[in-house]
Structure 1
Amino acid sequence: MKNRHILITGGTGFIGRELLTKFNDENITLLSRTTPFKNQIQASLEDFLDKELIIDNFDIVIHLAGLAHNNYDLDEFRKVNVKSTVALAKQVAAKGLKRFVFISSIGVNGNNTVNEPFNELSLANPHADYALSKYEAETELIQLSKSLGFELVIIRPPLVYGENAPGNFKSLYNLISKGVPLPFGLVNNSRSFISVSNLCDFIALTTTHPSAAGELFLIADDERVSTKSLIKTIWKAKNISSFLIPVPTFIFKILFKVLGRSSIYLQLFDNLEVDNSKAKKLLAWYPKQAMIDVFKKS
């Protein structure tokens, strides 16, 4: 389907830049405060709270924008991730919106898995303010989609990796790439990730597939990796010769707790698995890009 009018929020970020490469013949408008673009609404997400900014009809909205860092309190997360998102949805719905694709977070389900992977039937159990705000936004959007008559797609990805990935993953990747011996030789956890390219392929698919309407998707690469195997994969991709030191994991648990960084401990040592089978069965989607190939290009 060509010549649809699509609004992308967060289009200048890590995921947004990749997403733009997936649309060749579409009429794209970006919501951005600063970055110049051919078609642009020059505003922040919070501006929707007190300004009428939507003057055009959009067929599709892909909503990536929002607060994601941990240095905000719950009120700040709610203002941007919930209230501003709702205000945006109301404005585009008033102009005849067909479908709203909302990028949420696997954190809505929790920060670790026990015994079985998360799937679309898993109960919501957000532990952090960011994840709670995403869940509240999902709930509000579901009600709005019913009352205002647009199709809603909700996507909950795990940690997204790829070239120029931000945040904790960037710090870990830079450390691993130095090739120094690392103390993770006994870490045998299992975690799901998704490459930015695989995620954006899926997002693009949900804008057109009729079976995506009204659905929630938990999405991830097929590969589930331990911190130990992640390090080895990066070393292999970059032809780095190094080794892992077998340090007992309980030492890290104590250390991170003392430092007040228990959330980092969970990311490095705990399990977080995602079942992506619904996306495969319902939309015939399969991740095209293997993890090692991503790191070979980085």
Structure 2
Amino acid sequence: MKVLLTGSTGFIGQALLARLSVQSALDLVAISRRPASGLPAGVAHAQIAGIDADTSWQSILQDVEVVIHAAARVHVMNDKVADPLAEFRKVNVDGTLNLARQAVVAGAKRFIFISSIKVNGESTAPGKPYSAETQPAPVDPYGISKLEAELALQALAAETGLEVVIIRPPLVYGPGVKANFLSMMRWLSKGIPLPLGAIHNRRSLVALDNLVDLIATCIEHPAAANQTFLVSDGEDLSTSELLRRMGAALGRPARLLPVPSRLLEAGAAMLGRKALSQRLCGSLQVDIGKARELLNWSPPLSVDNALRKTAEHFLEHQTE
């Protein structure tokens, strides 16, 4: 089976490529905007200038049966463009639909779209997780563009018979993670006291290995066709608990000060960092029951083992 993967040099794409390259039944084509080096043996590569409504995929899609679309214009903090939603739409909506349409013409059977939990929204009430059936309520331009892409793909599926699989991950972590998760590990490794010891929220995360495993399952599983799946590690953590368990994985016990979350939220609002306080203090839970039932899928890696792998990579590369 020939499988095309976009975003092959990204955080998710690299891990997925490594996983799929050991499956002898798959013929892989990795797509990226940058030159690719160190690809697994036997993986073909094609470089493109970008992904939008005008990208030509015709020659690349020859004989491809499954497209895994992991490339996207990702969520950007403090976006400076005049119209962020228009920029997200160029890649995440127009570019996605253009690729899917050309995949149909080329004879592809399945299109796996890596979406985002931001399609559902930004927060949940404790004990009331999002499910795949929850009415979408995106807040920011990134989430809106992902929802619009999902709807366009579903319409194309109804029109053409293309099997569309949508996966909405929450925050993804694992070896090589960047952004806020990397900052958290740096703070913990330096023993910096953090005022986050009294936060009793619940948040779903997904280890990179667990997300990759679900994507790999969806390549051929018949029950995945035309379904939307939420994914997580199956164990939700408070911010305080995450810091303590990450500190244990790093061998540096977390130094957490029990500052009430309401004071943190008030302080963050005064500093114009309300979004950050929401991520630290608010809850965002997802229900993965649909993937468990339809696909007989469970996260293969526990939270503690995933944190340990993430910590080991960080400790090996922290001087780089």
Q: Fold conserved (TM > 0.5)?
A: yes
Query: Superposition pairs for residues 135-284 of structure 1, below 5 Å?
Result: 135-284=147-296
Please name the residue that 1:39 is paired with.
44
SS of the equivalent of 2:204 reads: strand
CA distance in 1, matches of 2:224, 2:115: 15
Change (3 A) 1:51 1:128: closer
Q: Is the 8 A contact 1:41 1:53 kept in 2?
A: no
List runs of 5+ in structure 2 lacking aligned partners: 312-320
Report SS of the residue matched to 2:151. helix
Alpha-carbon RMSD across the aligned residues, in angstroms, is: 1.4
Secondary structure at the aligned position of 1:121 is classed as: coil
Residue 237 of structure 1 contacts residue 296 of structure 1 at CA under 8 Å; is this kept in 2? yes
| Structure 1 residue identity aligned to 2:102 | Q
| Runs of 4+ that moved beyond 4 A | none
Q: Residue 60 of structure 1: which of 59, 66, 72 is its match?
A: 66
Q: Give the CA deviation at 1:94.
A: 0.6
Aligned residues: 294
What is the TM-score normalised by the length of structure 1?
0.95
Cα deviation, 1:73-92, whole Å, max 9, x if unaligned, reads 11100111000111111111
**Structure 2 vs 1, CA of residues 263 and 44 (structure 1 numbering), >3 Å: closer, same or farther?**
farther
State the TM-score, normalized to the length of structure 2. Answer: 0.88
* Amino acid in the other structure paired with 1:64: A
Q: Which amino acid aligns with 1:84?
A: G
Secondary structure of the 1:224 match is coil
Which residue matches 1:286? 298
How many Å apart are 1:11 and its aligned residue?
1.0
Q: Cα 1:175–1:39, aligned 2, differ >3 Å: closer, same or farther?
A: same
**Runs of 5+ unmatched residues, structure 1:** none
CA offset at residue 178 of structure 1?
2.2
Moved more, 227-236 or 288-297: 288-297
Given residue 109 of structure 2, which amino acid in structure 1 is its aligned partner?
Answer: K
Q: State, as a whole percentage, how many aligned pairs show the same letter.
A: 39
What is the aligned partner in structure 2 of residue 102 from structure 1? 113
Residue type of the partner of 1:291? V
Q: Distance in 1 between matches of 2:112 and 2:124?
A: 26
Q: Which residue does the alignment assign to 2:316?
A: none
Offset of 1:242 from its aligned partner?
4.2
Query: What is the DSSP-based 3-state SS (H/G/I as helix, E as strand, rest coil) of the residue aligned with 2:182?
Result: helix
